[in-house]
Amino acid sequence: MRFAIAQSGGPTCAINASLVGVHLELFANGNDSAHIAPIEVLGVRNGIQGLLEERFVNLNEALQSEDDVDLLRKTPSTALGSCRFRLPAVGQDDSIYQKIQHILEKNNIDTFFYIGGNDSMDTVAKLSAWLSAHNSPVKVIGVPKTIDNDLVCMDHTPGFGSAAKYVAMTIQEIIRDSSVYNVPSVAICEIMGRDAGWLTASTCVLRANGEDAPHLIYLPESDFSISQFLADVREQLAQRNTVICAVSEGVTPPDADCFRSGTNDEFGHAYLSGIGKFLETQVRNEIGVKVRSMELNVMQRCSSHLASACDLKEAENVGRYAAKLAMQGRTGRVVTMRRVSDAPYRVEYSDTAADAVANITRKFPSKWISDAGNQISDEAVNYFLPLIQGEVAPVMRNGLPTHFRFAI
CB-side exposure of 219: number of CA atoms within 13 Å? 26
Which range of residues in 247-255, 300-308, 316-324, 330-338 is near a second copy by CB under 8 A?
300-308
Is residue 325 within 8 Å of 3, Cβ to Cβ?
A: no
Q: Pick out residues in 339-398 that bind a second copy (CB under 8 A).
A: 385, 388-391, 396-398
Taking the complex as a whole, the smallest distance from the CB of residue 8 to a second copy amounts, in Å, to 10
Taking the complex as a whole, the smallest distance from the CB of residue 228 to a second copy amounts, in Å, to 26
The yes or no reply on residue 182 touching a second copy (CB under 8 A) is: yes
Q: What phi, psi does 265 have (nearest 5°)? A: -85, -175
Is residue 284 within 8 Å of 292, Cβ to Cβ?
A: no
Q: Pick out residues in 25-54 that bind a second copy (CB under 8 A).
A: 45-46, 49-50
Which of 108, 132, 179, 382 binds a second copy (CB under 8 A)? It is 179
The yes or no reply on residue 146 touching a second copy (CB under 8 A) is: no
CA distances from 231 to 282, 286, 317 (A): 12, 10, 46
Is residue 294 within 8 Å of 247, Cβ to Cβ?
A: no
The yes or no reply on residue 214 touching a second copy (CB under 8 A) is: no
Nearer to a second copy, 15 or 357 (CB): 15
CA distances from 247 to 200, 209, 253, 301, 390 (A): 6, 21, 12, 16, 26
CB-side exposure of 322: number of CA atoms within 13 Å? 39
CB-side exposure of 373: number of CA atoms within 13 Å? 13
The one catalytic residue among 122, 148, 150, 351 = 148
Q: How many angstroms separate the CA atoms of 98 and 133, rounded?
A: 12
- Please report, as a single letter, which amino acid is at residue 160: F
Nearer to a second copy, 328 or 402 (CB): 402
Q: Would you call 148 a catalytic residue per the annotation? A: yes
Which of 67, 70, 105, 177 binds a second copy (CB under 8 A)? It is 177
The yes or no reply on residue 240 touching a second copy (CB under 8 A) is: no
Q: Which residues bind a second copy (CB under 8 A)?
A: 11, 45-46, 49-50, 75-78, 81-84, 165, 168-170, 172-174, 176-182, 205-206, 208-209, 292, 294-295, 297-299, 301-306, 308, 385, 388-391, 396-403
